Amino acid sequence: MESRQRKVNIDELLDSIGEESRVLGDKGRYVLDVAPIHTARAESVTFCNENTEKGLQMIRNSNAGVIICSADLQFVEDDYVDRTLILVSRPRTAFIRIMKRFFPEEPVKYGISPMAVVEKEAEIHPNVYIGPHCYVGRCKIGEGTAIHGNNYIYSNTEIGKNVIIQAGAVIGAEGVGVKRNADGEVEEFPQMGGVIIEDDVRIGSNTSIMRGTMENTIIRRCSTIGHLCNIGHDVIIGEHCVISSHAVLGGAGRIGDHSQVSVGACIRPKTEVGNNVLVGMGAVVTTNVLDGAIVFGVPAKEHGRNV
């Protein structure tokens, strides 16, 4: 990452982490940038999430001046002669906080691209970014939201504050709501609901979120939806959830707060996944999942507790 040429000392790093930590090595060191552990230099801060012998080797082989690492690792004095180690319980989380405070991305410049099409009935806060080749219907969009290029936002969609929607997403399209009649012919169920996306949600590129049938599809605050996901009609995703790339959530499903659906997993329509659940990669969930479970497999079965 490009250096901001602003010296950040150890005390400032510790303050930004905001949790119990222990420092090994020179406390007078400073950093100028962040970098991956294998390319970091003496003026860089990096992190190591491994808490095994592999982690020790990664740290010993790194040129980083400051490394955020696991408090579970056992070090000898030679490990921190030429570097400073900050030991915490969650290295990745600590590093995220450092990046956000001292090395943030360049802020988006608010405004609506002249190549975007926005319906005049849309209610859009002045501090919103809408990129080129977007369509925005009769929607409500809150302050600080960034909608990148080539997004299609159908009418009857409500987007909260500080939402980020990456390129190519479709929000509010009609889902597959059909039934066969007595002659075996397919008849479509009219879908008149909308989509509600609460504050601080992140939505990946080329993801589709279907509108509800008569109520709303809802993404609760602070949740993240990955790239190339399909969120069916009337789905409700709780707060602080992670829906990883290529996941498919069938219509009218429920995902509880603080749960994670891993890459390529599929949730059967009308299935309820509880709070603090971990659904493994490629899992096919066909029955309800209780709070705190770890499930994976085809069909998915419980294999532990997410503590």
Per annotation, catalytic residue among 125, 148, 227, 233:
233
With residues binned 3-state (H G I as helix, E B as strand, rest as coil), the percentages for the chain, rounded to 5, are 10, 30, 55
Per-residue b or e along 80-116, where b marks 16 or more CB atoms closer than 10 Å to that residue's CB: beebbbbbbebbeebbebbbeebbeeeebeeebeeeb
Q: How far apart are CA 219 and CA 124, in angstroms?
A: 19
Q: How far apart are CA 119 and CA 138, in angstroms?
A: 6
Q: Residue 246 catalytic?
A: no
Q: How far apart are CA 245 and CA 205, in angstroms?
A: 9
Closest Cα to residue 68, out of 45, 50, 51? 45
Catalytic site positions: 233
